[in-house]
Structure 1
């Protein structure tokens, strides 16, 4: 036996890289398991055609390239996300597309966080920091809360921010191409594009050629914003581009048990909807909420130590992190709500920023920079200090959402009622017979339904061809907030028993008998009694409205 048989591996660096990749894959699979389950259901022979349904996330097994998906109705709420999913729908089921994006994004985001830690860290402890950074990126309250709210594409952009920052900093030949590709993926939603563009612009200040990199980021960001910016500008005089001032208070960041609003935001939590808070985080509060604050305090201590030592590596990202916490906190105060409310009412497109808590994820790259600094400083003190610091960061990260995989059980894929597909087929047949694009009114009022036992946007809005009319309103303390005036007026008339359907250009009416409980349909039945019932199933009825029958 030679001495080489007992020698070290000739490629230790490759082994470490392989372990890091496997670690990122494992984290992604554990946290984003509902998307993995969805992909498996489509990949398995004879698998079910499942859908992703929860609150704002409605990704049915098939989607129509209707006016809502393309923005032709003047309300670019889900553009270009739904445009891409609907366009690819004949080739790849939308849930599979969304799942591939989420799983790939989670892996690349985790890997980018490790790369960012190596980029800004010193020689000692950087590898340990590179192993911790992926955990902080995908296992946090922001990811869990936004997924439970249904904002999957916002989460996709959020976890990619460390990768965006890394590509903006590096000057390798592929970094610019990778940065552009990441911006394209993040631009699936306007919020995602804003998050990625701001992060890239700030991180570009750390690059060897900041001016050139900033111009690249600004140019790409401007081009990618056109799909939702153009419809907004074209309808700048319409009420649909402005929001009700009451939405400012509704969407303000929410205080959490024991830590208040600032503490909640510092821990990457504080979503406005209490129903979207993970069950384990709620049950463990104030321990879980306090864990995020302690982690933020540790990061702040690391920032002070760096500043005193003259090490300001990554400082722009740190300042961005501070801004990402402070600004939403200010917007949740009385004066902040008043200013935001004014902007919502008078500035077109201001509704994009009324949910200010979603921008707190901008703190993620800066948090990684600071935690990396703390871990590398501990490594310089000795192995015991390194182990203690690492264990503390890992423990605090876990405790902030202690039951994260289980908490996302409501996100598991489901099979939609076959009646949705039948309804879409009937509308498609009607359009072919009449050689026109149908304007479709859905009743009961509102765009939320109870679907497969979950509150969610009505899947029919995504599946019906033509022009399904989205009322787009919210109910705040019993008052109507926002909404498309024409669609809201048509629904009000129908509910009151006034037949203004033809005058308003409505071609078809869909009655959902099981989507909303307790709706009074007396007036609706009085109107539709004089119109032809085209199709009916156990839950849905479809009426033509062009030519009322004699009473």
Structure 2
């Protein structure tokens, strides 16, 4: 009977945090369950996208959305692209919360109530709110992978015991842990920044003996964007140093930059924050979050954080847990302090030198992204603090009884309330901002009429739009993901009253030509076969009427007008098919790593350590 009761309790310990994480994910992103598409600032989902050179990262701009765009292009002919984006986002939010629960359960061996606190810390925080409002849905897959990456790294580190004990179960567990790490890297690698987040976490946790294998897996998971950078050369050029000041972390009301970052806030875009974060609730919420985290720092760093065992093997595993927990605490400090230093005048000078002199260093310019690395340690500390306070209030000398004490549950309820209430407007799509939109039918008609060669130029100039159907926030132009040919984009970003230069030299030349009223022949010589005018959004048009008068109108309605350029030069190089083949291979390798790694992790679970 006791064994059956233990099994039921163990199942309950797993199901409740998973269900609670699902509830919070739905509470946050619930409005997206309705029909329509995500179109908010940097987030663009479309009914279908295409495997263009840009989707593979072989275009004029740096491959920042690789392999994200290629995945959507491959799947959207089968499943509506909007549904895919919604599903990935919801799964990512769920996985972030549940991963935090599993991490605390395995490293701290806490009961259900503290795990629910960990779920709340991972999901109900300014980082999630601000990145959702900025439209960084794919970055949140990297965020969601962090607790799972830490767990896989811990299991790999602990599995080295098998080399000394010859324990077959632990050897199988090691294979499963490596599979989990591979799957985490691939999931996080939906964007380059996500890969860096997961890679940093794993590298500092796995231990020196496992470092080479970890780096190898990280390179494979990053193959799509690394290959695209090497083949296109777009990301190999230094970035505009102006991006450092533009994307520096921002101080929120009542908080300095350091305080904002410590509270998991401080995104560079002041418009991408919930309404509660522009009031003194930002200060209150940050103080409460840090207070909850502070209650468990000592317990998390203590060798007595878990249930100690006399068995030598489990004792060694406990030592691995301790090393991982302490390293995560150090990583959290670095994740807060370094971005804060990066926003100081001398810190920005160092970063400007770095991005101007080191190709690819532009990935580091949005330093607030890397505050995500603090989340696993925050979740551990909150769970440990919940248990420690609950045990103290219960006055229960027995560890076993303390784990079942109602005082721990009451403490968890108090902690959850303190975390949720100051950020109340994260609910319902961050105060209703995260909601689906509906594209005019003209987009589909334009797509059907593009039946000839050549790239597509778009007017008005610039990359961001304000459509009547997209809301008050500027949105990234959906044309590159909506249309079947490469859409030329300069990559220039208007940020805080300044313009950060992009890598699209060819697109910039075409845009300049249009705005100055150049000839149709010049457009054709640059490889442009089509010009799309998006009529319901503001933006520069210059003297483009002169150019458009020389083109053949193909389609027009109240929203869009499509023109064909009469004669188009073929700019495809002899190496282009080979480049596409290599890019395909890199993406297939990434997809195989994602599916294979997760399957291996599911089939070869490690033996429990307690």
TM-score by length of 2: 0.79
**Which residue does 2:116 correspond to in 1?**
131
Residue 183 of structure 1: how far off its partner (Å):
1.7
Distance 1:322 1:239, change over 3 A: closer
Shift of 1:327: 0.7
Equivalences, count? 513
Partner Cα distance (1:226, 1:264) in 2: 34
Contact map agreement 1:510 1:543 (CA 8 A) in 2: yes
| Cα separation, 2, equivalents of 1:412 and 1:479 | 29
In the alignment, the residues of structure 1 paired with residue 79 and residue 94 of structure 2 have an alpha-carbon distance, to the nearest angstrom, of 21
Change (3 A) 1:240 1:531: farther
Is the partner of 2:433 in helix, strand or coil? helix
Higher RCO structure (Cα 8 Å, ≥6 apart): 2
2:332 and 2:534 map into 1 onto residues whose CA distance is 46
Q: For residue 270 of structure 1, what is the aligned residue in structure 2?
A: 266
**Where does residue 398 of structure 2 map in the other structure?**
none
Query: Taking structure 1 as reference, are residues 70 and 217 closer, same or farther at Cα in structure 2, changes over 3 Å only?
Result: same
Q: State how 1:170-181 maps to structure 2 within 5 Å.
A: 170=155, 171=159, 172=173, 174-181=176-183
Contact 1:502–1:546 (8 Å) recurs in 2: yes
Aligned match for 2:533, one of 492, 511, 517:
511
Instruction: State the partner residue of 2:545.
Output: 525
Which residue does the alignment assign to 1:45? none
Corresponding residue to 1:375 among 383, 386, 394: 386
Task: Write out aligned runs for 1:114-153 (5 A).
Answer: 114-121=101-108, 126-153=111-138
Contact 2:556/2:562, CA 8 A, preserved across alignment: yes
Relative to structure 1, the CA distance from residue 30 to residue 245 in structure 2 (aligned partners, 3 Å threshold; closer, same or farther) is same
1:138–1:159: 8 Å Cα contact kept in structure 2? no
C-alpha separation in 1, matches of 2:97 and 2:553 = 53
> Does the Cα contact within 8 Å between 2:37 and 2:438 map onto a contact in 1?
yes
Inter-CA distance 301–309: structure 2 relative to 1 (3 Å threshold): farther
What's the counterpart of residue 296 of structure 1? 290
Alignment of 1:250 with 2:239, yes or no, is no
Structure 2 equivalent of residue 191 of structure 1: 193
Does 2:449 match 1:426? yes
Cα distance per residue 1:220-256 (max 9 Å; x no partner)? 11111121112223444x6873321111111000001
Structural mapping, 1:525-544, within 5 Å? 525-544=545-564
Contact 2:238 2:361 in 1 (8 A): yes
Correspondence for 1:83: 70
Task: After TM superposition, give the deviation of residue 387 of structure 1 in Å.
Answer: 5.7
- The whole-number CA distance in structure 2 between the counterparts of 1:178 and 1:487 is 41
Residue of structure 2 equivalent to 1:57: 43
486 and 411 in structure 1: CA distance in 2 versus 1, 3 angstrom threshold: same
Is 1:201 the equivalent of 2:203? yes
Structure 1 residues 464 and 391, CA gap change in structure 2 (3 angstroms) = same
DSSP-derived class of the 1:24 partner: helix
1:159 corresponds to:
144
SS at match of 1:32: helix
Q: Write the distance in 2 (CA, Å) between the matches of 1:315 and 1:478.
A: 42
Corresponding residue for residue 280 of structure 1: 276
2: CA distance between counterparts of 1:478 and 1:306?
44
Unaligned 5+ segments in structure 1 are 42-49
- Is the 8 Å Cα contact of residues 74 and 240 (structure 1) preserved in structure 2? no
Q: How does 1:115-514 map to 2 (within 5 A)?
A: 115-121=102-108, 126-170=111-155, 171=159, 172=173, 174-205=176-207, 211-212=209-210, 214-236=211-233, 241-282=237-278, 285-300=279-294, 302-304=296-298, 312=322, 314-383=325-394, 386=408, 389-406=411-428, 407-427=430-450, 429=451, 431=452, 436=453, 438-451=454-467, 452-454=469-471, 455-476=474-495, 479-483=498-502, 484-499=504-519, 500-514=522-536
Higher mean C-alpha deviation, range 54-63 or range 311-320: 311-320
